[in-house]
Structure formats: C-alpha cells, structure tokens
C-alpha cells in the first residue's frame, strides 16, 4: 500500500471571536479523519459554513488545526512548518483575482518555479509554455495580461500555474463555481484530462455535487464541520444514503425535488445529537439526543441513525 | 480597485484626456516647476543680490515684481521660493511615502498584534497637530530645512500608513496572494512583487495630497521663521515679509500668496483627477 | 390570455469608453399575464439587460437603438420620468441577487418594510408581511439590522418588500445565486407561491437551467442578445430545438452516466459591438453553414414555441429528456 499523500487524523479547527466579554467559539471543523492516496481526487461537498474551505486550508498548511494532526507525505504541516515549496498548489474560486493584474501570464505561471529557483529563465518559460498547452491555451497567451482574458481563461491559467512545478497535491476550492455553465464544463474537462496525464492527488471542494462527482474518485459530504457521508463517486450517481446528501443531489438535478426539501435555514445546527437533526425531514427523537457515528455500509461510510432503513428502501 | 488596468501611465493619460480641468492643473503645475527649476538660468536677476535697486519699490520694468526691503529684485526671490518650498516638501513626502509604504505593508501582511500596534501608533501621530509638532521640533533641532522635513514626515506618515495598510489588507486576501503563499513565496517576495505594485495607484494619489499638505506646512513654518532661513527665500518667509510691509508695499504679498495658492490648488486638482481615474467611485444614474 | 410583457426586436447598446457594446440585439419576447417565465442565459446573453429594461433600470450609458418594450399596455421607452416613477411604484417589484446590498444597512428591517408599503404601516401589518414570507421569530427580525440576518432571511425580507404593493410584474434576477444550495429551493418556492397569490407575472433570470425548469411555466433561452428559443418549460427542456439549448443541456454536469464525458460547448459567448451579421451562435454551432453566418435567423413562431434558427428541421428534438431525469 502506497503511503497516502494527505493524512488527516481527528482534526478539529476552533475559532474564537468577539470581544473579551462576549467570546464566541465556533467549531469550523470537528474531528475529521481521512486520507488521500497518490493520484486520487477526493471531492468535498458542502455549503458555506460547512467548514470545507477551512479543511482545505488545513490540508495546505495555511490554517493550523487546533486539534489532531494533518500530515503531508508523512510530515506534519501547519503555518509554522510549511510543506516544501512546489509540492502543493491551489486553485481558488474567484477568476477575477486569481492572477496578479500587474504581471503577464508568463510571469505568473512561471513564478512557482522562480520561487524554487529551478532552472534558468529559459527553462522556466519553456515549462510555462508546456503548462499552458496542457490547459488548452496556446503560447500567444503568455504575453497577455489578466484583464485581456475571460474568466474561464484566467482559471485555466491558474490551473497551469498550479501544475508548473508538477506538484503532488492540488486543492481546487470552488474552482469552477464562478464560471458560466458552458465554460464550467470546459474547465472540468481540462481537470479530468490533467488527472490522467499528471497523476496528482487532489481535493476538489465545491457546493455543487454534480460538478464534484464528475471529477472525483471519492466524495465526502460535509455538514457543520463533520463528514456525514463519504464514499466512492459512483455511489453518488445513484441515490446517496444520508438525507443531506440526498437533498443536495435532489435539489441540483431533479425538477421534482419536492420530496426532499429541507426545512429551516443553514444556521439551524443542533449542538446535541446529530447536527442535521433540526433540518432533517426524517429525524426521530433519537436523532436529537444521540450523535450518529460514521458507520460502514459497503464502500461508503454514513453518519445517520436511519441509514439501514434508507438502504432497505433503495433495494425495494 | 479594477483588476483590469495594467499601466499607471496609460490610466493617467486617459484621465487627462477625459478631464480638462485636471489637464490644466497638471499644466500649471508643470509650468511652475519648470520656472522654479530653471530659475537660476532665466534672465530674471539674482535672488540674493542685495542693494541693486531702491528699497520697497513698486513693480517696474526693471523690477517686474518690485523690490524688497534689502533692495533685492522680488521676482527672482519668488521664483526661488517656489523651488525651495517645493523641494523641501517633495523630499519629505518621498521619504515619508517610502517609509509609510513599508510600514503599511508589514502591518497588512502580518496582521494580528503587529497590525494593531501600527494602527494605533499611526492614529496617535495623526492626532498631533502639525504646528505644535513644528514648534517642538524647531526648539530641539533648531529652525531650518531639517526641522521642516521632520514635521512634514510626522504629519504625513500616518496618512500613508493608513492608506497603504487598508489597500494592502484587501489585496492580501486576494486569491493570487494565497496562491503565491502556497507556492512557497517568502513574505518579502509577496509584499514586493504582489502587494506593492497593486497599490501604486493609491500611493500616488496619497502622494499628491501629502505634497500639498507638505507645502502648506513648509510655508507655515517658514512664515513663523522656523523654516527656511535667510538668505534663501521660501514662499512662506516671503509672505511674512509681505505681511510686515503690507501698509507701505502691498504688492509684496500678492506674488508669493498667489503662487502658493495656485500651486496647492493645482496639486489638489491633479490629485482629484488621478483619484477619479485610478479608483473611480461607482455611480449610476438610472434612466 | 392577454400578453403583459412584450419585447419586439429590442436592441440596447451600452456606450463605454472603448466603444459600444450591444447587449440586446433584437430580442423578441411575449409573456402572458400571470405567467412565470424563466430567462436563461450566460454572461453576455443580455438577460439582465432585458430584465432591468422592464423597469427602466438601465445605467445612464445605455441607449435603446431599435425595437420596443411594453409592460401592461405602456410602452416603456416612451414614458417620461414621472411615468417611470409611477410605473416602478405601482406595477413593479424587483428582487436582486445580493440581498445584503438591496437592503439599507443603517435601518432596521421593520422600518424598511414600512418604507416599502405605500402608507404608514403599524407594527401588526409589518409583522404580517414578514410572516407572509415565511420568517420565524418575526419581532426579532423586525427589530434587527440587515447584517444580523442570514442570506436566506435577508432575501425573504427583500421579497416581502418587492411584493408589498402587490405589483403586477415581479422580476427576480438570480435571486438565489448568493444563497446556500439547501435554502435555494425554499426561496424559489416562496417566490412562486407569492406570485400566484398576488396574481403577478413573474420573470425569473437565471443561468441555471434546472432551477428555471423547476420554477417556471415558460422558459426563454437567451444568447448573443436575442431570445433563441422560448416556450413551455417542459417542452423546451425535454425536446429542445435550438442547437444552443441542446448543447447547454448536454454540457451541464448532473445527467451524465458515471464515467461518461460531457461535451462542452467550444469557444466563448460573444461580446457584440454591433448588430450581428448572421446568427451569433454560428461560431460555436455544429450545424452552422454559410446561411447561418450571413443571414440573421428570424424568430419563427411554431405552434408550441418560438425559435430563431435556420436549421429547425435538421435540429430535431433530442438530448433534452436525459437532462431532467436522473435515472
């Protein structure tokens, strides 16, 4: 068994905010454990406030875990001990600010190599050209400035910049969310092709289950800082098991989604018992008292007291 | 801030074409500066030659702006005054700009306690009135150009720190900065390559405002006798002279006064124009 | 049914320092009174311009260069300022994308609801309005400032304000784009039910096809400043005729089988600087030929829909059903 690229064990992130007399403690990430194998793309689906971006930042060593341990290639990472430069990369949401407006595409894409002081300037520019080709942009783009590019093109340049050092791990944090529908698919296809070509491990964070399952091998669904379901992407094409996953899947694609409408609002998080209990259409008394653990159901793990019933229903 | 532009120069030239007032202001300023810089070369006379003419004489062909109490032609003195006032103010403001930018960048990059301390110190300095500061400094360092520079630095440093810090804070949260951090860029590299170039616009605008403030401070201190010392002329000390002899030679007050007002107005209009070009406020008349 | 909103060959340009941008290039639309129409389009399609034009809410650099637009029986571009103000007050309600910027951050919610109502409203009425949009703990919400509410709650307040005077036309521009996925369904349901309750005509602008299919009876697909296809939602989505609609449905992730590759539409949406010669989708269309590049397709009114394409017979309905039916 190859050792995992990213190994996260019982990680929690707690924020303390507010003035001294009325401190607020927010638990952004709550006891998360998972691994990402080399070459594997793990999807992380959740809404704003679910903690998915925070978890992404922990994996990059940008945010410290207040509990637990985050390992990159078996080394402990955090803001005070960053992983070696060039092994990690990130592609973020906003194409408008993905690139430094004052630098040409060539300078932006070759910067990670310049930081590593790898090769001569010519070598770096060659690497930049190759990276641009891989994302489907021809070399005439190298001399342009960001404002001359469309949103989709900027995201592609951001992806090229992420690839140029041949990293072991890339985090895509809502990388396609701000793009037009037709451009989204173009960029998703670019990502899929690069996964084949390059073999990097990746964490694909998104609120869109459909886009995530298109590019991921495995998917974890996150709610209020914990994983409620984690399993192979295939199983998210059929009906997922956890009620929250089902609601996400339904609201995205099925016009007759009425059956799985969620109640309440995103802030209705129950602190005792299952965090989803207040909004769940199938919650029982037990759900409000007892917090469900992640349990195995074949290749999938689900944290729901009624998972068995859901599975039985499926089979009928 | 618009992610779309890539050259301060092109923004400025575009702005000048769109806003005639700003173009005029820039022209006036350039003219005044040229006159000041070329002063020694122009056939207007020697600013320090004493006694070449009658004392306190009104304007005449030989003495276009009249003569002062020591018989010096007033025109070259005013021209010299422009240069001196401008030089002192510009030197001080350039220094302050550089210092303020560095401090502001560090505060914005490191945030947390560093940022809080810097912000509070800047506020404290800002709260101090410039003239009091001037008197204090002059009493320690003695009157002269150095004192004036120190006061201008103290008075305009908080402006630069504030502006740089606030723009830098918003830049620091941008995606390309995070990407550079993840790629392993050092703090210095991020500040110099990613943050600084993107706040040049705000910095230049602040520079023009600080310059006009600096010129006012220089003139004010010179007026009180704490600034540029004789025989070098400064618009402020010339004004003081004019005030003293107002009853008998009223023409002595106009030239330095008008020149100072014109210069500061031109700088302010230029600054306003630059601000509209580089950082326009969104406004939308609905139809 | 009478037609409440009629756009006829409408063309609108924006004057920018870099030249003119043609946001609408001959848009034709007919919406019956009381119907719910969804306008779907990507950036640059002109849907926002068309939606905003219905309230004369275009920026000052916008110019109508051709065509007409009428709401009720009033031709919008012929109205004077008083007419526009009166129209906005009595006939129109708008819901925008970002609730936080639609609400005044310095006033409490209750006060803002009061402003939206025509006359002085007492507390009971204000609370009723807030209840009508499904808010709980109404007294707390009425007393709160906008920043104290979540996105979903704020959007409900905005909706309450939009329908306060029972407008005849309700325009919602991407009303759920800045909200969480789990709340979107609720907000759309709310808009729909309120629209029916007050008998208004609804125009919903969105870039998301599935949302529009769920919420609206009628759908209009916009591309390059024109309405390329419009008709009942089920017909357009299950059997799209225009190549762009077909391609859009095929390209969206959600309906593909595991491991299947999606066909992305090559190229980018156009930015028009003048009236387009020929069909604006020609550059990206697999059916495009010389006619398409030379001649603008006229809007054809078929029995079940309107469509603007030279190749209607060739572009037989296909590919739409799969998009709606995740089996």
pLDDT in tens, A22-38: 788 888 898 899 999 99
* Binding partners of C (≥3 Cβ pairs within 8 A): A, B
Decide if A207 and C269 are in contact by the 8 Å CB cutoff. Answer: no
Q: What interface predicted TM-score (ipTM) does this complex get?
A: 0.87
Give the per-residue pLDDT at C213. 81
Query: Which residue spans within chain C are E strands per DSSP?
Result: 3-16, 19-32, 36-40, 62-71, 74-75, 92-95, 169-173, 201-206, 218-223, 226-232, 300-301, 306-307
- What residues of C are in contact with residue B18 (Cβ under 8 Å)? 17
Is beta strand A169-173 parallel, antiparallel or unpaired with respect to A201-206? parallel
Fold category of B2-40+73-278 in CATH: MetI-like fold (1.10.3720)
**Residue C2 burial (CB count, 10 A):** 8
Best B168, B184, B197, B278 member to test A by mutation, with max A CBs in 10 Å, is B184
pLDDT tens, residue by residue, B59-88: 777 777 777 777 777 777 888 888 888 888
- 3-class secondary-structure state, position C18: coil
CB pairs under 8 A between A and C: 105
Percentage of residues in chain C with pLDDT exceeding 70?
Answer: 95
State the pLDDT at residue B279: 64
Distance from the Cα of B287 to chain C's closest Cα (Å) equals: 6
Contact across the interface for C59 and B14, Cβ inside 8 Å: no
Residues 55-94 of C with CB under 8 A from B: 56-60, 62
Using the Cβ of A261 and the Cβ atoms of chain C, whether some distance falls under 8 Å is answered with: yes
Lowest mean pLDDT among A222-226, B32-36, B277-281: B277-281
Mean pLDDT computed over C188-200: 91
**Count of H-run helices and E-run strands, chain B:** 11, 0
Average pLDDT of chain B to the nearest whole number? 82
Reply yes or no on whether the pLDDT at B49 is more than 60. yes
Which one is predicted more confidently, B257 or B68?
B257
Q: Which residues of A touch B279 (CB under 8 A)?
A: none
| Distance separating alpha carbons of residues A164 and C72, to the nearest angstrom | 58
Q: Which residues of A touch B4 (CB under 8 A)?
A: 101, 147
Partner C contacted by B284 (CB < 8 A): yes
Q: Does A146 touch chain C (CB under 8 A)?
A: no
Confidence of residue B50 (pLDDT cuts 50, 70, 90): confident
List of residues 6+ apart from B149 with CB closer than 8 A? B88, B91, B92, B95
Beta-carbon pairs below 8 A across chains A and B: 71
Q: Rounded distance, CA B230 to CA B240, Å?
A: 12
Q: Note whether B231 contacts A: Cβ–Cβ < 8 A.
A: no
Q: Rg of chain A's alpha carbons, rounded to an integer?
A: 21
Sign of CA dihedral A128, A133, A135, A140: positive
Residue A97 forms contact with B (CB below 8 Å): yes
Where is average pLDDT lowest: A243-257, B63-77, B199-213, B268-282?
A243-257
The residue among A180 and C92 whose pLDDT is bigger is C92
Please judge whether A152 and C268 are an interchain contact, meaning their C-beta atoms are less than 8 angstroms apart: yes
With CA atoms as reference, the chain B residue closest to C53 would be B287
Most distant CA pair in chain A, distance? 67
- Which pLDDT band holds residue C220 (cuts at 50, 70, 90)? very high
Tell me the CATH number for domain A6-87+167-315: 3.40.50.300
Question: Which residues in chain B touch residue C58, judged by CB atoms under 8 angstroms apart?
Answer: 286-287
> Chain A window 81-120: which residues touch C at a Cβ cutoff of 8 Å?
none
Q: What is the pLDDT of residue B19?
A: 75
Q: Identify the closest residue of chain A to C149 by CA–CA distance.
A: A267
* B189 contacts A101? CB cut-off 8 A: no
In chain A, whose CA is at the least distance from the CA of B173? Answer: A97
- DSSP-assigned letter for residue C280: T
Tell me how far apart the 2 most distant CA atoms of chain B are, in Å.
74
Percent of chain C with pLDDT over 90: 37
For residues B235-245, give the mean pLDDT.
Answer: 85
Q: Supply the pLDDT for residue C182.
A: 72
Strand ranges for chain A from DSSP E: 6-17, 24-36, 41-45, 67-72, 75-76, 88-91, 169-173, 201-206, 218-223, 226-232, 295-297, 300-302
pLDDT of A168 above 90: yes
Residue A265 has pLDDT above 70, yes or no: no
B228-249: average pLDDT: 83
Beta-ladder partners of A169: A88, A201
**A6 touches A168 (CB < 8 A):** no
- State pLDDT tens for residues C233-267: 989 988 999 999 999 888 888 878 888 899 888 88
- At residue C317, the pLDDT reads 54
Q: Tell me what the pLDDT averaged over chain A comes to.
A: 87
Instruction: Spell out which residues of chain B touch residue A94, defining contact as CB-CB under 8 Å.
Output: 174-175
CA–CA distance, B58 with B56 (Å, rounded to integer):
7
pLDDT exceeds cutoff 60 at B4: no
Give residue-wise pLDDT tens across range C89-147. Answer: 888 999 998 888 889 999 999 989 988 887 777 888 889 989 999 888 888 999 999 98
pLDDT for the residue C326: 38
Q: Using alpha carbons, list the distances in angstroms from residue C178 to C48, C184, C228, C238.
A: 16, 9, 27, 28
Band of pLDDT at residue A59, cut at 50, 70 and 90:
very high
Residue among A154, A213, A253 with most chain C CBs within 10 A, to mutate: A253
pLDDT confidence band for B176 (50 / 70 / 90): very high
Share of chain B above pLDDT 70, in %: 90
Q: How confident is the model at residue B2 (pLDDT cuts 50, 70, 90)?
A: very low
The residue extents of the domains of chain A are 6-87+167-315
Which chains form contacts with chain B, at 3 or more CB pairs under 8 Å?
A: A, C
| Per-residue pLDDT, C28 | 93
What are the tens digits of pLDDT across the range A268-300?
Answer: 677 778 888 888 888 888 888 888 989 998 899
Cβ–Cβ of B185/A115 closer than 8 Å?
A: yes
């Amino acid at each position: 068994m190859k050792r995992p690229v990213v190994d996260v064990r019982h990680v929690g992130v707690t924020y303390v905010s507010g003035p001294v007399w009325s401190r607020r403690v927010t638990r952004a990430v709550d006891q998360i454990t998972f691994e990402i194998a080399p070459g594997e793309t793990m999807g992380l689906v959740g809404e704003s406030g679910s903690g998915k971006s925070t978890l992404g930042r922990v994996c990059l060593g940008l945010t410290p875990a207040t509990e637990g341990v985050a390992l990159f290639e078996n080394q402990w990472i955090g803001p005070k001990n960053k992983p070696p430069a060039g092994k990690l990369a990130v592609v973020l949401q906003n194409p408008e600010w993905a690139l430094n407006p004052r630098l040409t595409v060539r300078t932006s894409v070759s910067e990670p190599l310049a930081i590593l002081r790898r090769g001569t300037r010519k070598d770096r520019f060659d690497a930049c050209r190759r990276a641009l080709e891989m994302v489907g942009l021809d070399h005439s783009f190298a001399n342009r400035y960001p404002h001359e590019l469309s949103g989709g093109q900027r995201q592609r340049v951001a992806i090229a910049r992420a690839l140029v050092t041949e990293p072991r791990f890339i985090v895509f944090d809502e990388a396609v969310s701000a793009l037009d529908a037709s451009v989204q698919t173009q960029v998703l296809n670019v990502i899929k092709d690069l996964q084949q070509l390059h073999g990097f491990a990746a964490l694909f964070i998104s609120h869109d289950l459909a886009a995530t399952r298109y590019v991921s091998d495995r998917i974890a669904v996150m709610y209020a800082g914990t994983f409620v379901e984690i399993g192979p992407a295939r199983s998210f094409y059929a009906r997922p098991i956890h009620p929250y996953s089902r609601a996400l899947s339904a609201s995205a694609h099925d016009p007759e989604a009425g059956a799985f409408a969620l109640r309440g609002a995103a802030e209705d998080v129950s602190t005792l018992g299952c965090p989803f209990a207040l909004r769940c259409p199938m919650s029982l008394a037990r759900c409000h008292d007892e917090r469900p653990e992640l349990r195995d159901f074949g290749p999938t793990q689900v944290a729901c007291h009624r998972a068995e019933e859901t599975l039985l229903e499926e089979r009928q | 801030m618009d992610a779309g532009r890539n050259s301060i120069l092109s923004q400025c030239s575009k702005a000048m074409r769109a806003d005639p007032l700003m173009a005029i202001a820039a022209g006036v300023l350039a003219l005044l500066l040229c006159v000041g810089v070329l002063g020694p070369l122009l056939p207007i006379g020697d600013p320090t030659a004493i006694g070449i003419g009658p004392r306190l004489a009104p304007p005449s062909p030989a003495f276009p702006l009249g003569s002062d109490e020591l018989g010096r032609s007033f025109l070259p003195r005013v021209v010299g005054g422009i240069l001196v006032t401008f030089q002192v103010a510009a030197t001080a403001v350039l220094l302050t700009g550089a210092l303020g930018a560095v401090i502001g960048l560090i505060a914005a990059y490191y945030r947390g306690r560093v940022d809080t301390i810097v912000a509070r110190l800047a506020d404290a300095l800002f709260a101090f009135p410039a003239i009091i500061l001037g008197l204090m400094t002059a009493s320690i360092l003695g009157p002269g150009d150095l004192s004036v520079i120190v006061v201008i630095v103290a008075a305009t440093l908080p402006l630069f720190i504030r502006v740089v810090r606030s723009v830098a804070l918003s830049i620091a949260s941008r995606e390309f900065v995070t990407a550079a951090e993840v790629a392993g860029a050092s703090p210095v590299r991020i500040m110099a390559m990613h943050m600084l170039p993107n706040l040049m616009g705000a910095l230049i605008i602040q520079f023009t405002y600080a310059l006009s403030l600096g010129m006012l401070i220089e003139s004010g201190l010179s007026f009180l006798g704490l600034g540029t010392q004789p025989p070098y002329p400064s618009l402020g000390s010339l004004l003081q002279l004019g005030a003293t002899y107002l009853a008998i030679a009223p023409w002595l007050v106009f030239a330095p006064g008008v020149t100072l007002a014109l210069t500061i107005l031109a700088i302010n209009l230029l600054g306003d124009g630059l601000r509209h070009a580089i950082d326009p406020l969104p406004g939308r008349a609905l139809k | 049914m009478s037609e409440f909103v009629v756009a006829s060959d409408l063309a609108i340009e924006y004057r920018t320092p870099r030249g003119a941008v043609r946001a609408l290039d001959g848009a034709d639309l007919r919406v019956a009174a009381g119907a719910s129409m969804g306008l779907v389009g990507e950036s640059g399609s002109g849907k926002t311009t068309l939606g905003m034009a219905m309230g004369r809410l275009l920026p000052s650099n916008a110019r109508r260069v051709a065509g007409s637009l009428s709401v009720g029986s009033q031709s919008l571009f012929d109205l004077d300022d008083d007419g526009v103000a009166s129209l906005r007050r009595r006939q129109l309600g708008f819901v925008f994308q970002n609730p936080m910027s639609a609400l005044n951050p310095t006033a409490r919610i209750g006060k803002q609801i009061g402003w939206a109502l025509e006359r002085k409203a007492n507390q009971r009425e204000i609370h009723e309005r807030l209840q009508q949009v499904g808010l709980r703990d109404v007294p707390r919400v009425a007393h709160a400032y906008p920043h104290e509410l979540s996105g979903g709650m704020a959007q409900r307040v905005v909706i309450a304000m939009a329908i306060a005077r029972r407008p005849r036309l309700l325009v919602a521009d991407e009303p759920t784009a800045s909200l969480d996925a789990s709340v979107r369904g609720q907000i759309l349901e709310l808009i729909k039910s309120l629209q029916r309750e007050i008998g208004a005509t609804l125009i919903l602008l969105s870039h998301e096809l599935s949302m529009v299919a769920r919420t609206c009876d009628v759908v209009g697909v916009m591309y390059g400043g024109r309405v390329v296809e419009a008709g009942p939602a089920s017909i357009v989505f299950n059997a799209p005729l225009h190549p762009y609609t077909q391609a859009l449905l095929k390209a969206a992730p959600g309906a593909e089988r595991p491991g299947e590759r999606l066909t992305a539409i090559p190229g980018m949406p156009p930015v028009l600087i003048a009236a387009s010669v020929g069909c604006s989708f020609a550059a990206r269309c697999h059916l495009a030929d010389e006619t398409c590049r030379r001649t603008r397709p006229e809007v054809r009114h078929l029995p079940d829909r309107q469509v603007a394409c030279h190749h209607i017979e060739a572009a037989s309905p296909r590919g739409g059903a799969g998009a709606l039916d995740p089996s």
